[in-house]
Structure 1
Amino acid sequence: MVKKPAPDATRRSEKSRRAIYAAALALVGEVGYPRTTVEGIAARAGVGKQTIYRWWASKADVLLEAFLDLGEQAAGQDTDAVPDTGDLAADLKAVLRATVDELLDPRFETPARALAAEGLVNDQLGREYVARLLEPQLQLYVARLRSARDAGQVRADVDPRIALELFVSPLAQRWLQRTGPITHAYTDTLVEYALHGIAPR
């Protein structure tokens, strides 16, 4: 009699984790963050509530990891760098255009808004959101601006961490507060204003 192989617990756990990620993202998109619950996520994923609490402390933690995983899947598991073609303006415009496309993608927009809003009232989640999601992305801009500074394309006294806020922060504010459309033309203009100022040339 042929013995059946023992079930692979690791594989089963990964399957459950994936189902939980998908359930969390789907529910937030369908009913919003306030009405999403751990119980609802568990039911949607086909797992017990205790399974979720074994891995995460709250629905916010589930959603944060699900969103980070979504970003990794979209990027092919690789961390994208800001391109360095030697043309700083063109490189920044290219990355910001891609950012606009992502922010307007419903798969990303809904959970991103939910996490950003919850992070304002949930200190721990807010810190994790910044540390695990925002800061690694901002450091890519820092690296590119340092390269431009070393190449003499921006002033030697420019602080890259502050400089990046000239184009990243307005985009984030407009997206979060819906004060106007976010488009490729808008982010191109942000780069032009940040690099060349608004005084007559």
Structure 2
Amino acid sequence: MPANRSEQSRRAILDASISMIGELGYDDISIEAIARRAGVSKQTIYRWWPSKGAVILDAATESLGTVVAIPDTGDIVADIRTQLTAILDLITTTGFGPAYRCLIAAGQSDPDLLRDLFQRIIEPNIDDFRARYALAHQRGEMRADADWQTMRDLLYGVVEYRLIHAMPLEPAYIDSVLAIVFQEVR
């Protein structure tokens, strides 16, 4: 029974933090405000997380869920389109987009937070893309000399750039980027 209560409290804290970041922004929320919204004590939060940034990073990481997994249908372009479209949906319909922007901004003065953000969100995506690229390469879905790092930077860097600068993110835009990236490697 206590594990259930703990999980309910943890979930309430993460849900409160991700919704509040979208409503108020990073600077205008506090551990105390998150605790009030979640219906827990601030000591409960501090028992599990060392800072507001750590709570929001956990909330953002969890909200990614299966969205970041690259499917494998045998068509790398379709698979990347599916993944990027799901990421765009997450960014534009949930608190993830504002949370991610705020974490990057807060990370500029908190190197530990920025390192954790890279290790928990960016690095797994890099590893997944590298693995999916290797599989596509083995299957002959692209030329042997295609540079996976440049492809990854172009595909995902565009999304991050547009997210960070609060520019529109639409699936049609993703189709244009996919066409540019993959026209030279097939």
TM-score (norm 2): 0.87
* Structure 1 residue 110, shift from structure 2 partner: 2.0
Unaligned runs of 5+ in 1: 1-7
Partner-residue secondary structure (3-state), 2:108: helix
Q: Is 55-64 or 104-113 further displaced after alignment?
A: 104-113
Q: Is 115-124 or 185-194 further displaced after alignment?
A: 115-124
Partner-residue secondary structure (3-state), 1:175: helix
Does 1:156 find its partner at 2:120?
Answer: no
CA change 1:10–1:84 in 2 (3 A) is closer
| Residue of structure 2 in register with 1:133 after alignment | 121
Given candidates 10, 13, 32, the residue that maps to 1:17 is 10
CA change 1:160–1:115 in 2 (3 A) is same
Does 1:194 find its partner at 2:181?
Answer: yes
Q: Which one-letter code corresponds to 2:171 in the other structure?
A: H
* Structure 1 residue 140, shift from structure 2 partner: 2.0
Does 1:36 find its partner at 2:23?
Answer: no
1: CA distance, partners of 2:78 / 2:19:
36
* Structure 1 residue 127, shift from structure 2 partner: 0.9
Q: Judging by fraction of residues, say which structure has more helix.
A: 2
Matches within 5 A, 1:84-99: 84-99=72-87
Does 1:144 find its partner at 2:132?
Answer: yes
1: CA distance, partners of 2:37 / 2:90:
26
| Residue of structure 1 in register with 2:110 after alignment | 122
RMSD: 2.0
2: CA distance, partners of 1:164 / 1:148:
14
CA change 1:88–1:33 in 2 (3 A) is same
Given candidates 159, 165, 168, the residue that maps to 1:181 is 168
What whole-Å deviation, never above 9, does each CA across 1:142-164 have from its counterpart, x for those lacking one?
22211121223323233423321
2: CA distance, partners of 1:18 / 1:118:
23
* Structure 1 residue 62, shift from structure 2 partner: 0.9
User: Number of matched residues?
Assistant: 184
TM-score (norm 1): 0.81
